[in-house]
Amino acid sequence: MNNIEERANKVESEIMKRLAISSEAYLEMWYEYGCQYAEELFTRWSLTGKARDRAVDIYIKSGVFWYFWAKNWVRACEMLINKGTFTYTTLRSYLRQMPEPDKHLHRQIVRHSKGAKKKSAMA
């Protein structure tokens, strides 16, 4: 198990305990917040309608996006847990301030998406 996996497992355990939720509920929250992050990201990038939906679909079908999300999720949760300020509200607020993928990472996400065409309009 690598360092990010160990940290993610500790975060999952701590959040489940603090929020009194199951592992399934935790994973559902993690996934939903990741999808919401992608939607908000493309809204900030001025995509709307079908173009935004397509961009979100490409991101959520990319393992690179989910690795990016997991690393930033773990950092956010660890910081809030260590400060003693972890709640749904503080987590949601902090995640909205999460860094955006740079151009290189964006290309990797698109390139490694199971939903992307060979030459995506997003790349």
Q: Each residue of 92-114: b (16+ CB within 10 Å) or e?
A: eebbeeeeebeeeebebbbeebe
CB 39 within 8 A of CB 56: yes
Residue 116: per-residue pLDDT: 58
In a domain, 77, yes or no: yes
Q: How many domains does the chain have?
A: 1
Residues of the chain with pLDDT below 70 are 1, 115-123
Residue 77: per-residue pLDDT: 93
Residue 119: per-residue pLDDT: 46
Residue 120: per-residue pLDDT: 45
Residue 73: per-residue pLDDT: 93
Residue 88: per-residue pLDDT: 83
Domain of 61 in residue numbering reads as 3-111
